[in-house]
C-alpha cells in the first residue's frame, strides 16, 4: 500500500504534541487507550494502514475517529484532523512563478494552459531541478534525446523546459486528433507504445488501457484530475 506522506506527517505531528497543552488538556492520541491498551495514535495508524482509502481524508472517516475519542480531547484534536484535507501537498509546488512562460507556450502551440500546469504538477511538482531515475529532467520531465529534438539545450532551465514540453504535448495532441487521454498516455509511455496498443482516441484509451503500463493508466488520471483543479 502506498502511504500518503501528508497523512503520516500529520499523524506523527499530532503524536509528538506534549501530553498536556497550556490549558491542561491531554493529548488524546498519546494518552487515550483502547481495550487492548493501545494508544489512540496506534489505533488511528493501524486503521489508516488497513483502510486503503487515503487515511483521514473524508468527513465520514473523521467522524468515525471522533466517535472513538473522549469528548474532553475531541475539541482540540478535530481542528487538526480537519486541517489535513485543507493543507496542500508540499511537493505539489506552485505555478505562480511560471505563469508567464506557461501562457506564452500555451498561446504559441495552441494548448490549454491548465493542461500544461497539470502535466507539470504531475511530472515534477513544479520542481525545476527534478530528475527521475530514468533520466527525465526538469518541470515537464524531458528525456535528453527528446529535449534535443525539441531544441532544449538545458532541461533544468524552466523556460526552455516549458517551451519544449509544451511543443511535444502539442505534437501529441495533433497526432491523436485532439484526444487528450491518448496524448497524455503517449507523453508518459511514448507514442510508439501507445500506437502498438492500438490507441488513437480517448475511447480507444478507455477500452484498451490494460495494454499500457499501470503507471501510464494512473498518470492519465492524475493529470486530468489536476487539470480539473486548475480549471476550477
Per residue in 3-13, pLDDT (tens digit) is 445 555 555 55
Could you give the CA distance from residue 166 to residue 105 in angstroms, rounded to a whole number?
6
Q: Are 125 and 159 in contact (CB under 8 A)?
A: no
SS3 52: coil
For residue 170, pLDDT beyond 80: yes
The three three-digit cell numbers of residue 62, written as one number = 473523521
Topology, domain 96-231? Lysozyme (1.10.530)
Domain boundaries, the chain: 5-86, 96-231
Query: Is the separation of the CB atoms in 134 and 146 below 8 Å?
Result: no
> Cα separations (Å) of 232 from 20, 31, 85, 99, 219?
42, 42, 17, 16, 20
Provide the annotated active-site residues: 123
- Confirm if 229 and 114 have CB atoms less than 8 A apart: no
Residues 16-27, buried b or exposed e (16+ Cβ, 10 A)? ebeeeeeeeebb
> Quick one: average pLDDT of 56-85?
45
Three cell numbers, residue 9? 506527517
The CA distance from 225 to 58, in Å, is: 18
**Residues 6 or more apart from 84 whose CB is under 8 A from it?**
6, 7, 10, 55, 56, 57
The better pLDDT of the pair 200, 19 is held by 200
Full-prediction pTM beyond 0.85? no
List the alpha helices (DSSP H) in 125-213: 144-149, 158-175, 180-189, 191-196, 202-208
- d(CA 225, CA 197) in angstroms, rounded, equals 24
Q: What is the pLDDT of residues 17-39, one digit of tens each?
A: 554 444 444 444 444 455 555 55
pLDDT, tens only, 88-120: 343 345 778 999 999 999 999 999 999 999 999
* Measured distance CA(141)–CA(156) in Å, rounded: 9
* pLDDT of residue 40 exceeding 60: no
Q: What is the pLDDT of residues 119-140, one digit of tens each?
A: 999 999 999 999 999 999 999 9
Residue 69: pLDDT band by 50, 70, 90 thresholds? very low
Q: How far apart are CA 9 and CA 163, in angstroms?
A: 35
Is the pLDDT at 45 greater than 90? The verdict is: no
First to last CA, the chain: 30
Mean pLDDT value of segment 138-157: 98
pLDDT at 190 exceeding the cut of 80 = yes
Mean residue pLDDT of the chain comes to: 77
Report the pLDDT value the prediction gives residue 189, as an integer from 0 to 100.
98
The half-sphere exposure of 53 on its side-chain side, counting CA atoms within 13 A, is: 9
Span 213-224, average pLDDT: 98
C-alpha cell belonging to residue 208:
484498451
Amino acid at each position: 500500500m502506498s502511504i500518503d506522506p501528508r497523512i503520516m506527517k500529520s499523524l506523527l505531528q499530532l503524536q509528538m504534541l506534549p501530553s498536556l497543552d497550556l490549558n491542561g488538556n491531554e493529548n488524546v492520541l498519546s494518552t487515550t487507550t483502547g481495550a487492548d491498551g493501545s494508544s489512540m495514535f496506534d489505533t488511528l495508524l493501524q486503521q489508516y494502514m488497513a483502510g486503503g482509502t487515503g487515511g483521514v481524508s473524508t468527513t465520514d472517516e473523521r467522524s468515525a475517529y471522533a466517535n472513538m475519542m473522549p469528548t474532553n480531547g475531541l475539541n482540540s484534536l478535530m481542528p487538526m484532523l480537519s486541517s489535513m484535507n485543507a493543507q496542500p501537498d508540499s511537493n505539489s509546488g506552485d505555478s505562480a512563478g511560471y505563469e508567464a512562460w506557461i501562457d506564452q507556450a500555451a498561446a504559441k502551440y495552441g494548448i490549454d494552459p491548465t493542461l500544461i500546469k497539470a502535466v507539470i504538477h504531475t511530472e515534477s511538482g513544479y520542481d525545476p531541478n527534478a530528475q527521475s531515475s530514468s533520466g527525465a529532467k526538469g518541470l515537464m520531465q524531458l528525456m535528453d534525446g527528446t529535449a534535443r529534438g525539441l531544441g532544449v539545450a538545458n532541461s533544468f532551465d524552466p523556460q526552455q523546459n516549458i517551451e519544449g514540453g509544451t511543443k511535444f504535448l502539442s505534437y501529441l495532441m495533433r497526432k491523436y486528433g485532439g484526444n487528450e487521454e491518448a496524448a497524455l498516455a503517449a507523453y508518459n509511455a511514448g507514442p510508439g507504445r501507445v500506437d502498438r496498443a492500438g490507441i488513437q482516441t480517448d475511447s480507444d484509451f478507455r477500452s484498451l488501457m490494460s495494454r499500457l503500463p499501470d503507471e501510464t493508466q494512473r498518470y492519465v488520471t492524475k493529470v486530468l484530475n489536476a487539470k480539473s483543479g486548475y480549471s476550477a
